[in-house]
């Protein structure tokens, strides 16, 4: 995820554009109905115009589909600085950076604390793979608008680009058993050394 708010900005833009087009069409139709009330309009067929307004939207949709398929097939946003594997377990998280030894992150004595947080470098892109070894969990970091289900036997992934320094806390957001409330996710975003 490049920025949590980019998604919401894009959704807002698309909804605003669709709303504007809808209002504009209704205004033009209303104006046409009022201005030409009772007037017979002749038939003007133009096969060239009909071909154009069929061909170009079809071409546009096909191009967008191809770009989407390329994106889904792995042509994501440039190079990746690291790969992180996250495994949800009852009732802690296991983290493994590719090329390093994995470790478990268990809740500490204080609220929202763990013994070993997930530590990532600021402004480095990461592929993050999330799964579970026992029951359904959900990896959640609200500050970054991230919520990914951890399902046994299935690997979910997302692209993550931490832009802010600090310590960010989340929890398992799927009811996973008696220790569900004791499964914090702590992410530390640090500067590169």
Query: Hey, what CATH topology would domain 82-190 get?
Result: Immunoglobulin-like (2.60.40)
Per-residue pLDDT, 177: 81
Per-residue pLDDT, 4: 55
37-62 as b/e, with b when 16 or more CB fall inside 10 Å?
eeeeeeeeeeeeeeeeeeeeeeeeee
Per-residue pLDDT, 42: 66
pLDDT tens digits, residue range 69-128?
A: 777 776 555 567 789 999 999 889 999 998 889 998 888 778 777 889 999 999 899 999
Give the predicted TM-score (pTM) of the model.
0.63
**Domain boundaries in the chain?**
82-190
Alpha carbons 85 and 131: distance in angstroms, whole number: 8
DSSP 81: S
Cross-strand partners of 15:
none
pLDDT tens digits, residue range 19-35?
A: 999 999 999 988 888 88
Residues 84, 126: contact at Cβ < 8 Å?
Answer: yes
pLDDT tens digits, residue range 141-171?
A: 999 999 999 999 999 998 899 999 999 999 8
**pLDDT exceeds cutoff 70 at 37:** yes
Q: Which of 50, 185, 180, 80 is nearest to 130 (CA)?
A: 185
> Which phi and psi angles does 66 have, rounded to 5°?
-65, -40
Q: Which two tokens stand for residue 113?
A: 């604390």
**C-beta neighbour count of 137 within 10 angstroms:** 31
């Amino acid at each position: 995820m490049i920025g949590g708010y980019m998604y919401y900005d894009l959704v807002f833009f698309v909804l605003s554009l669709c709303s504007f087009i809808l209002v504009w069409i209704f205004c033009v139709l209303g104006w046409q109905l009022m201005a030409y009330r009772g007037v017979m309009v002749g038939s003007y067929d133009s096969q060239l115009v009909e071909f154009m307004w069929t061909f170009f939207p079809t071409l546009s949709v096909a191009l967008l589909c191809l770009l989407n398929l390329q994106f889904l097939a792995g042509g994501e946003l440039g190079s990746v600085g690291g790969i992180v594997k996250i495994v949800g377990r009852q009732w802690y998280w296991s983290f493994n950076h590719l090329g390093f030894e994995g470790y478990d992150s268990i809740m500490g004595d204080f609220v929202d604390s763990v013994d070993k947080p997930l530590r990532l470098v600021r402004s480095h892109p990461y592929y993050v793979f999330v799964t579970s070894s026992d029951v359904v969990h959900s990896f959640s970091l609200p500050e970054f608008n991230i919520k990914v289900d951890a399902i046994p036997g299935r690997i979910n992934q997302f692209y993550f680009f931490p832009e802010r320094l600090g310590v960010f806390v989340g929890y398992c957001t799927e009811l996973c058993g008696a220790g569900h409330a004791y499964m914090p996710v702590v992410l530390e975003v640090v500067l590169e050394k």
